[in-house]
Amino acid sequence: MCSPLSHASPVRWSPSEVKVALVCDWYLPRIGGIELHLQDLARELSNHGHEVVVITSTPGASEFEGVRVRRLEAPRLPRFGLLFTASGFRAVADAIAAERPDVVHAHVSIVSPTAFAAARAAHRQRLAMVVTFHSMIPNTRTLARGVGVLLGAASWKARYTAVSECVANAVRPFAPSQSFVVLPNAIDVSAWRPDSARASSDELRLLSVMRLNGKKRPLALIAMMRRLARMHPNVRIRLRIAGSGPQRAMVTRAIRRAQLGDRVELLGQCSRDRIRELLAESDVFVLPAVRESFGIAALEARAAGLPVIAMSDSGVAEFIENGREGLLARNDRELTAHVASLAMDPERLGAMSNHNRRYPPALDWSMVVDRHVAIYCEAMALRENVRADSNR
């Protein structure tokens, strides 16, 4: 585990081997950004010599691609799959007590009873704790304040983090007296780098990778393509959307009503290997989500050399500089205008693509995993200082 550098107060730690319990309501085989991030984080921590166990309420196997998973056997809310009973919350606490980790790392999405139950259990069991917030919803600040008061988060000895600055700003009312730091998601940048230059095409090939739900706003993409077809009927622009979700039937109907079947293609859920192929075949990545807390798919596209068009209020704006790695839109009309501008200005499109191919993004696991371990050691030092103070 982390070893103390000094016995003097305050206690400090240096990283060596840590046992980490990654706790989240959602995990593979369910597919989504947070699930893939946790799998990658677990793998990277293990590769750096740390012991990892995932604790989740998502059903599945007890091991997933080399990661040990403790699946909670407790009633789950129909349709939503969330824990909702006192016995379920006790199961979370019991799992943590049985594992005896050095650090409990709770990953909070939009609605996260399992993650919050883990944080509360870690507090009661006097374990080091890190809480990471991954999502934003309407009225996030109000909801965060209410949940924090309900759980008594003000008394927790925890390190609070968020995947982007915009999320950190939104969730600070959860524990208003505590500091929140950005602990970003990451990717294996080298795995997404392009092998060669893209083949030229007489059309602008757009790609979007998303879960088809209201938060990601896939219908905004269809509206965008409808406006482009009306405003620029002679400019060839084609969009492919990789992903599935509850709005797939709605999106399919919107494509049919707008008579965009020759311009928009729904690909369904795609593997990472298939997404790499799609990126190699595309010119621009588009993401219309306003409440995008980070944007792993956009970061992968950026690493693959694609200019990224996204919303200026989203977490994507924290690694895409407007006019350099891509274009940022303040509204849907501007999103459409940005796509049209690149379709009609191949030199500008080429300059952005060349920049992204030449300069890879900095958010690589080789650096971000060390930031995770540093936060874990801070959490352990915080807990150790509390124990030292209580023994005086």
Question: According to the model, what pLDDT value does residue 5 have?
Answer: 37
Torsion of CA 383, 386, 390, 392, to 10 degrees: 120
Question: According to the model, what pLDDT value does residue 8 have?
Answer: 35
Strands lying side by side in the sheet with 264-268? 264-268, 237-242, 204-209, 284-286, 308-311, 326-329
Phi/psi for 9 (5° steps) reads: -85, 140
Question: According to the model, what pLDDT value does residue 14 have?
Answer: 52
Residue type for position 287: L
- The pLDDT of 234-250, averaged and rounded, is 96
Confidence of residue 333 (pLDDT cuts 50, 70, 90): very high
Which residues is 162 bridged to in the sheet? Answer: 133, 182
Kindly write down the DSSP assignment for every residue of 15-79, as one continuous string: -S--EEEEEES--TTS-SHHHHHHHHHHHHHHHTT-EEEEEESS---SEETTEEEEE--S-B-TT
Strands 103-108 and 67-71: unpaired
pLDDT in tens, 130-167: 999 999 888 889 999 999 999 999 899 999 999 999 99
pLDDT exceeds 60 at position 10: no
Which pair of structure tokens corresponds to residue 100? 């005896």
Which residues is 286 bridged to in the sheet? Answer: 309
Prediction pTM value: 0.91
Cα–Cα distance measured from residue 59 to residue 287, given in angstroms and rounded to the nearest whole number: 30
- The pLDDT of 288-303, averaged and rounded, is 97
Whose tokens are 């927790």? That residue is 156
Question: According to the model, what pLDDT value does residue 326 have?
Answer: 98
Whose tokens are 């350099």? That residue is 324
Question: According to the model, what pLDDT value does residue 391 have?
Answer: 57
Confidence of residue 375 (pLDDT cuts 50, 70, 90): very high
Question: According to the model, what pLDDT value does residue 197 have?
Answer: 74
pLDDT exceeds 90 at position 302: yes
- The pLDDT of 161-175, averaged and rounded, is 96
Q: Are 64 and 29 in contact (CB under 8 A)?
A: yes
**At 255, is the secondary structure helix, strand, or coil?**
helix
Whole-number mean pLDDT of the chain? 93
Question: According to the model, what pLDDT value does residue 110 have?
Answer: 82
Give domain limits for the chain.
Answer: 3-186+365-382, 189-358
Q: Are 307 and 325 in contact (CB under 8 A)?
A: yes
From 199, 204, 288, 309, select the one nearest 243 (Cα to Cα): 288
pLDDT exceeds 90 at position 111: no
201-229 as b/e, with b when 16 or more CB fall inside 10 Å?
eeebbbbbbbbbbebbbbbbbbbbbbbbb
pLDDT exceeds 90 at position 212: yes
pLDDT in tens, 37-91: 999 999 999 999 999 999 999 999 999 999 999 999 999 999 889 999 999 999 9
pLDDT in tens, 312-322: 999 999 999 99
> Cβ–Cβ contacts within 10 Å for residue 174, how many?
26
Cα–Cα distance measured from residue 311 to residue 308, given in angstroms and rounded to the nearest whole number: 10
Percent of the chain, pLDDT > 90? Answer: 88
3-186+365-382: CATH architecture: 3-Layer(aba) Sandwich (3.40)
Residue spans of alpha helices (H) in 152-217: 165-171, 189-192
Q: Are 332 and 220 in contact (CB under 8 A)?
A: yes
Question: According to the model, what pLDDT value does residue 9 have?
Answer: 37
Q: May I ask the CATH class of domain 189-358?
A: alpha beta
Strands 12-14 and 180-182: unpaired
